[in-house]
Amino acid sequence: MADFLFHESNPYYLLQSKNTDLWFISQPPTPLNYDTWKRDYLMHKSVSFLHIKDPLFKRIAASRLARFAIDVFGGVQELLNVLVYAKDELTLKEALKALNALSKSVKALRNAGAIRL
């Protein structure tokens, strides 16, 4: 990769971690934008945790999605998949809590294919 992507003054600053996925952000995290950056990072990681087969990670992701109650990265669709394929009650309970918190965003639920009961 080009060295200029690792310089903080570049608007296409590349944040690299030990994980295989890479993050492009418009600005490096500063005290002014750190909370927004952290929330977006947690939401992205929470949605990726829903793909892991371990129920503990699915519960962690569901509780994070419920805490922030926003759907930016497609978390509603993944939570609906958790409801379909979860094998233990704790995971189902956390997924339902998260969907309840996200239910204020009716458009996101409808786009994910949920129907009202």
Which three-class secondary structure state does DSSP give residue 101?
A: helix
**Are 61 and 97 contained in the same domain?**
yes
**Are 102 and 48 contained in the same domain?**
yes
Q: Which phi and psi (to 5°) does residue 97 adopt?
A: -60, -45
**Are 12 and 68 contained in the same domain?**
no
**Are 23 and 49 contained in the same domain?**
no
Total domains in the fold of the chain: 2
CB count within 10 Å of CB 104 equals: 10
Q: What is the CATH number of the domain that holds 66?
A: 1.25.10
**Are 13 and 68 contained in the same domain?**
no
Is 82 domain-assigned?
yes
Cα–Cα distance for residue pair 66/101, rounded to 1 Å:
5
**Are 92 and 76 contained in the same domain?**
yes
What is the extent of the structural domain holding 94?
A: 34-112
Task: Spell out the per-residue pLDDT of the chain, length 117, in tens.
Answer: 445 445 555 555 555 444 445 555 556 667 777 777 777 777 778 778 888 888 888 888 888 777 766 655 567 777 888 888 888 888 888 888 888 877 766 666 676 676 665
Answer yes or no: are the C-beta atoms of 97 and 66 closer than 8 Å. Answer: yes
Angle between helices 89-102 and 55-68 (to 10 degrees): 20
- At 37, list the tokens: 């950056």
Cα–Cα distance for residue pair 27/12, rounded to 1 Å:
7
User: Sign of the CA dihedral 113, 96, 39, 107?
Assistant: positive
Is 78 domain-assigned?
yes
